[in-house]
Amino acid sequence: MRFIDRFSTASFLRTILIAGLFTLNVNHAAAKVAASESFYTSKQASPEVQQLQEGIASSKDNQDMPFVILDKKQAKIFVYEKDGRNLGGAPALLGIAIGDKYYPGTGQIKLSQIRVEERTTPAGRFQARLGKNTHGQEVLWVNYDMGIAIHPVVTSNPKEHRLERLRSQDPKQHRISFGCINVPKNFYNTIISPIFKAQGGIVYVLPDEMNIREVFGTYFQTTSI
């Protein structure tokens, strides 16, 4: 009888131990996912982002609509309420090519036909609206004709390591897309999509190489890129 009790007790303890280790591993994995999708605060925005946000707020250039500021140099994106209140920020993946201009016609051809040097995320001020891509998935169209959108990170090609790139602290590692702006799925679903549903908004993309005033002007007016 004692042997049976000892055996049962040992089995019970082993079960508890295994369950504990399983829970620990699950919690660790969940923590890694949470860490990869943690959002930035306005304090983590660069001086250029803060300067542009202040200019937008003072000039009312956002036309009483929510807006986004994309900092290409830092590979970070920030979302704001129409009154300028910061809703949060996140890492972003960008066009693989450094540059601020759009190459005419690249928005109307197959992705595979776009040359590497043409895969830029254009700088400028854009009127943005939610819509569908060619796969029927919701995206925030920054400019439909250019084929530039903000959407949840695409992970269909494992060789690109896009999730790992999002977690990287090196902005250079965030250069991988054909020009679209990839953000964490949770950030898109909980912040970008809801805030732009009603009426769309404005997307401001800071330049890689051009001077900020060349792109936005003194009063952050729309300029050609």
- Give the model confidence (pLDDT) of 119-178 as tens digits: 999 999 999 999 999 999 999 999 999 999 999 999 999 999 999 999 999 999 999 999
**Is residue 26 classed as helix, strand or coil in its secondary structure?**
helix
- Tokens for 126, please give them: 């854009």
**Is the model's pLDDT at 68 over the cut of 50?**
yes
**Is the model's pLDDT at 20 over the cut of 60?**
no
Question: Which pLDDT tens digit goes with each residue over 22-40?
Answer: 333 433 343 334 334 557 7
- CA-to-CA distance for 169 and 149, rounded, in angstroms? 23
In the block, residue with structure tokens 């043409």: 118
Phi and psi at 203, nearest 5°, equal -115, 125
In the block, residue with structure tokens 């000892």: 6
Band (213; pLDDT cuts 50, 70, 90) = confident
Best CA proximity match to 225, nearest among 52, 100, 105: 100
